[in-house]
Amino acid sequence: MGAQWIHGPSKKNPVFQLASEYGLLDKEAMSEENQQIEAGGHPLLPSVAYSNAGRVLSPELVEGVRNLFSTLLDQTREFVHATQVPVPSVGEYLRREITRQVKEWTDDDQSKRLKLAILNMYFKFECCVSGTHSMDLVALGPFGEYTMLPGLDCTFPSGYGGLPDQMLSSLPEESVMFHKPVKVVRWGGSYQEESHVGRMFPVQVECEDGEKFLADHVIITVPLGFLKEHHETFIDPPLPPRKAEAIRQLGFGTNNKIFLEFEQAFWPPDCQGIEVVWEDESPLAEAGPDLQAEWFRKIIGFVVLQPPERYGNVLCGFLAGKESEYMETLSDAQVLTALTDVIRRLTGNPHLAPPKKVLRSQWHSAPYTRGSYSYVAVGSSGDDIDALAQPLPEDAADPRQLQVLFAGEATHRTFYSTTHGAVLSGWREADRLLSLYDTSKSHQHKPWL
Ligand SMILES: Cc1cc2nc3c(=O)[nH]c(=O)nc-3n(C[C@H](O)[C@H](O)[C@H](O)COP(=O)(O)OP(=O)(O)OC[C@H]3O[C@@H](n4cnc5c(N)ncnc54)[C@H](O)[C@@H]3O)c2cc1C
């Protein structure tokens, strides 16, 4: 339902390191050759582009447009050290450059329209990558701070869950509690545990079921979407203004998956991905389609789950933004009907059998997530990410340091929105805590975490 690929599987990626050590990857993913490929952070799948006119688009045409889009996208990353940006957002920059380029195209009108329609699909693709409704919401200046590691994206043949399972196996049993939502983290206090008379703790964590835990330190890793909704009551006393501002300003949007299982594959056997192009769309058009009536137009395409012997004939579609959030409000049957219609239009086959099963994520409605992952929104910058990552209390002179620490993907300045960013942020906070204690002194109190 969530993470699928290791983005940039190579030596500096901790998820890749751990997965390799645990033997969770196949040989190809582990190969030196694979680790050296500069793929630009996105999975490069051999895809077929279908259009709503029921035809397969020329692979050469699609590749040409894809190259144009990635060249423009690379340009947007060059503003990272600029003192001024020409426009506030990545979307506006891309559209401005496309408007310039179109004037020089010598194609006939129909080909121009088709190229714009393909470009529009890549805008939607980027919305999925950034987890945003529109690239107009993504800040141009900081965009290049997001760092892509080398390596051709790979998956876990037995599922991503193998990684946390292995990591958990090295911890004492019952050190992780599930289905135990925290209601409030109180800090800056003096709490006493009955069994530890005389010892005071600055932090108390109260769960929704009323159970309380005392601690010297707590690391908060809830999603930014949850913090946006609840930070005023979740942390007591409330966060300092700079941190609250960072939470408000950073972006946290929705990217969802829709899995469709078919009795028979309608796609060619070697096809690993299907791109979906709506021929009447353009990134230069003033208004997009009606969200409620045509939410399905935001679907960028489908990944074919591999290998079919393991998964059956399953496609995984992706869609981001408000359309994705609207999709969450529909029933499975409504989603299935809409997508059957889309696929019939793409294939030009009005009798194509509907999928036998649908399964989708609903990350925006999920109360402990409220979206998918973070991005640097217009009006924010990498400094907000660093502000969010700052521990409490802020006052360096306070003798009770590091009471509340913050980790999670949204606190990693260059790898936000990824699993490796999440892992590294956790290690960063673990190191911060370790540096507070002199582990050679055995008489020290063992801190409660
Ligand atoms: C559709 C989708 C596809 C993705 N694909 C990829 C991919 O291919 N590769 C990649 O690297 N990344 C991918 N990601 C991003 C990746 O999943 C995240 O970056 C990563 O999971 C973030 O980890 P985290 O620990 O910061 O947050 P999370 O994984 O969101 O974990 C936060 C946890 O906090 C819990 N929580 C929230 N509130 C409370 C509370 N009050 N009390 C107790 N617990 C609470 C939540 O239930 C959750 O378990 C994808 C994400 C989505 C949604």
How does pLDDT run across 330-388, given as a tens digit for each residue? 999 999 999 999 999 999 999 999 999 999 999 999 999 999 999 999 999 999 999 99
What residue spans define the domains of the chain?
A: 25-149+241-438
Q: At what angle do helices 419-434 and 14-21 cross, to 10 degrees?
A: 90
Tell me, what's the pLDDT at 448? 85
Mean pLDDT of the chain: 95
Start-to-end CA span in the chain (Å): 30
In the three-class reduction of DSSP (H, G, I as helix; E, B as strand; rest coil), residue 225 is classed as helix
Cβ of residue 130 lying under 6 Å from some atom of ligand 1: no
Counting ligand 1 atoms within 8 A of each CB, the residue from 128, 368, 420 with the most, and so the one to mutate, is 368
Average pLDDT over residues 420-434: 97
State in words which class domain 25-149+241-438 has: alpha beta
Residue 173 contacts by C-beta under 8 Å, 6 or more apart in sequence?
A: none
Quote the ligand 1 centre to 173 CA distance (angstroms).
23
Tell me, what's the pLDDT at 200? 93
Cβ of residue 231 lying under 6 Å from some atom of ligand 1: no
Q: Shortest CA distance to 411 belongs to which of 142, 149, 224, 148?
A: 224
Query: Structure tokens of 108?
Result: 């006939």
* 446 vs 432, residue with greater confidence: 432
Q: Shortest CA distance to 376 belongs to which of 72, 140, 40?
A: 140
Cβ of residue 2 lying under 6 Å from some atom of ligand 1: yes
In the three-class reduction of DSSP (H, G, I as helix; E, B as strand; rest coil), residue 443 is classed as coil
Cβ of residue 369 lying under 6 Å from some atom of ligand 1: yes
Cβ of residue 221 lying under 6 Å from some atom of ligand 1: yes
The position carrying tokens 């690239």 is 135
Query: Structure tokens of 443?
Result: 């008489």
Quote the ligand 1 centre to 112 CA distance (angstroms).
40
Of the pLDDT bands very low, low, confident and very high (cuts 50, 70, 90), residue 441 is: low
In the three-class reduction of DSSP (H, G, I as helix; E, B as strand; rest coil), residue 203 is classed as strand
* pLDDT reading at 82 higher than 70: yes
Cβ of residue 131 lying under 6 Å from some atom of ligand 1: no
Atom number in ligand 1 closest to CA 1:
1
Counting ligand 1 atoms within 8 A of each CB, the residue from 409, 413, 424 with the most, and so the one to mutate, is 409
Cβ of residue 425 lying under 6 Å from some atom of ligand 1: no
Q: How far is CA 26 from the centre of its chain?
A: 24
| 212 and 206 Cβ atoms separated by less than 8 Å | yes
Q: Give start and end residues of each alpha helix (H) in 270-381.
A: 308-311, 321-328, 332-347
Of 29-43, 118-132, 307-321, which range is least confident?
29-43
φ/ψ of 197, rounded to 5, equals -60, 135
Q: Hey, whose CA ends up nearest to atom 14 of ligand 1?
A: 3
Q: Hey, whose CA ends up nearest to atom 43 of ligand 1?
A: 181
Cβ of residue 223 lying under 6 Å from some atom of ligand 1: yes
Quote the ligand 1 centre to 419 CA distance (angstroms).
8
In the three-class reduction of DSSP (H, G, I as helix; E, B as strand; rest coil), residue 176 is classed as coil
Do β-strands 357-360 and 255-262 pair in parallel, antiparallel, or remain unpaired? antiparallel
Quote the ligand 1 centre to 240 CA distance (angstroms).
25
Q: Hey, whose CA ends up nearest to atom 17 of ligand 1?
A: 3
* pLDDT reading at 74 higher than 90: yes
d(CA 28, CA 351): 39
Cβ of residue 182 lying under 6 Å from some atom of ligand 1: yes
Running DSSP on this structure, what letter comes out for residue 417? T
| 224 and 374 Cβ atoms separated by less than 8 Å | yes
Atom number in ligand 1 closest to CA 318:
1
* pLDDT reading at 440 higher than 90: no
d(CA 444, CA 447): 9
Cβ of residue 161 lying under 6 Å from some atom of ligand 1: no
| 131 and 255 Cβ atoms separated by less than 8 Å | yes
238 CB neighbour count, 10 Å cutoff: 12
Quote the ligand 1 centre to 143 CA distance (angstroms).
21
Counting ligand 1 atoms within 8 A of each CB, the residue from 5, 221, 364 with the most, and so the one to mutate, is 221
* Coarse DSSP helix, strand, coil percentages of the chain, rounded to the nearest 5 percent: 40, 15, 45
Of the pLDDT bands very low, low, confident and very high (cuts 50, 70, 90), residue 443 is: low
Cβ of residue 143 lying under 6 Å from some atom of ligand 1: no
Considering the chain, what percentage of its residues have pLDDT values greater than 70? 98
| 79 and 143 Cβ atoms separated by less than 8 Å | yes
Quote the ligand 1 centre to 200 CA distance (angstroms).
33
| 303 and 259 Cβ atoms separated by less than 8 Å | no
Cβ of residue 214 lying under 6 Å from some atom of ligand 1: no
* pLDDT reading at 196 higher than 80: no
Quote the ligand 1 centre to 422 CA distance (angstroms).
8
What Rg, from alpha-carbon coordinates, does the chain have?
A: 24
Q: What angle do CA 38, 253, 311 make, to 5 degrees?
A: 60
- Burial (0-12, 13-18, 19+ Cβ within 10 Å), 78: exposed
Tell me, what's the pLDDT at 43? 56
d(CA 186, CA 214): 9
Counting ligand 1 atoms within 8 A of each CB, the residue from 160, 418, 425, 427 with the most, and so the one to mutate, is 418
Q: Give start and end residues of each alpha helix (H) in 269-320.
A: 308-311
